[in-house]
Structure 1
């Protein structure tokens, strides 16, 4: 374990701050077994974090994201964050010195970036420990050009504090396909539909319908990451068809399911 409580990473590359031309401090692998997470922490460097395997959840005070291997999160220096696995995952991280990052590729807020073949190839190239400082600097300049933001919104669905609304939230988390109305839920938890609607808005910042839709999208992501067909995922999270689910996913997340999880062989 490191001094800040994080597991010691398997470092794959050795560029350090002692190399004047280098921007990357190091690239490390953090194995995250099922249910494992790291404590909330921050860095003096920028961090680019993505899962090379599995599904990675990263929570910050500015939002929460679920990332497949096709996406990464840019975490600015100083932003507190807590990564965790959704199933067995491996988180890879690239740490970058803020002073050496160009303004055009240094975002002040957490930003989702695409991880395509070019970016993967550049990262593999930077793993080499025999690159001259000048060659590393050129490769890192291209790396910044390859960082491409994608229009993904956070999918956090905060849990209400009130016991009645929290009971509804936990029941829906256990069964996202439950389509009962607030009136029906109110009968179960002892509150009117109006009271529950008010509590969800006040305590989560989202209207109940918006909150439930986000919860369903979060639940769908772990199923999509397993490679389940869209029809099966749709039914498990409360949608009558793959097309209605895909439309809702695109509306909430910003990408279609196939864009978010570009897996071959999906129905």
Structure 2
């Protein structure tokens, strides 16, 4: 179903329950995702706000990965290819905004803080029996609540060089592996210098920067699941919680407590 004057939102999972009364500016889709369940790359005809009131979402788009606990959502502009999944069982709530009735012109994905008020508004708009006036008022307030927050995307692309890729795959399997590039080189048949150049050319960042990003990527779902900072630090390769918090702040822009704290 779609509001009068619009076609249905493209790219919506067929199992989704979508509430989109005639005349509304925002449609709300709800569906469950299992652990590590992903929707392949797709795009929508409407802008999307991807959010999970329960569980943790992950979105891959434009060469980046966003991990989204319930405290944040991701704005995905219409037409942007993306893949969506869950790092643990999740209830996904997707809001779809008709571009011709949306005041925002963001051209790239934006992280949004989900306040208590925004959370309640999303739940309110998921009801099918709201009258037209109540829905319009709630939509206006919801639009007023959408503000991007300043956080940096975690990004750890895979290098193209097959030897560097072997190293990257091993580190994805065990982010805490502390072998040096020279030690990895002896394993994959390349010098440490060659591997360093392959990471720089294939990922756009130094090996040290890439490994730090990979560790943050691995840490995100653990933190979102409630694992303690000290345990996460150890599991992704940091010698102390303070070193991990410092790396998280450098990589994301805020400390773990600020990123995952209820708003």
Under a length normalisation based on structure 1, what TM-score does the superposition of the two structures give? 0.89
Pairing of 1:119-130 with structure 2 (within 5 A):
119-130=118-129
Give secondary structure in 1 for the equivalent of 2:38: coil
Q: Please point out which of 14, 17, 37 is paired with 1:10.
A: 17
* Secondary structure in structure 1 of the residue aligned to 2:88: strand
Structure 2: runs of 5+ lacking an equivalent: 1-8
Kindly report the root-mean-square deviation, in angstroms, between the aligned alpha carbons of the 2 structures. Answer: 1.9
Total equivalences in the alignment: 254
Which residue in 1 is equivalent to 2:158? 159
Is 1:58 paired with 2:55?
Answer: no
Counterpart-to-counterpart distance in 2, 1:5 and 1:102: 22
Residue 133 of structure 1 corresponds to which residue in structure 2? 132
List, as ranges, runs of 4+ consecutive aligned residues in structure 1 with deviation greater than 6 Å.
Answer: none
SS in 1 for 2:50: strand
* Displacement after TM superposition at 1:62 (Å): 5.0
Stretches of structure 1 that go unaligned for 5 or more consecutive residues are: none
Whether the 8 Å contact between 2:12 and 2:44 is mirrored in structure 1 is no
Aligned-partner SS, 1:236: helix
User: How far has the Cα of 1:161 moved from its partner?
Assistant: 2.1
CA–CA distance in structure 2, aligned partners of residues 239 and 133 of structure 1: 54
Deviations 1:75-121 (A, max 9, x none): 00111111011122222100011111113xx4111000011101012
After superposition, residues 89-168 of structure 1 pair within 5 angstroms as 89-103=90-104, 106-168=105-167
CA distance in 1, matches of 2:11, 2:144: 32
Q: Deviations over 1:159-181 (max 9, x none)?
A: 11222101111111111112222
Supply the distance in 2 between the matched residues of 1:91 and 1:5 (Cα, whole angstroms): 12
User: What residue number does 1:23 align with?
Assistant: 25
Q: Distance in 1 between matches of 2:120 and 2:31?
A: 20
Match of 1:220 in 2: 219
Q: Does the 8 A contact of 2:11 with 2:43 survive in 1? A: no
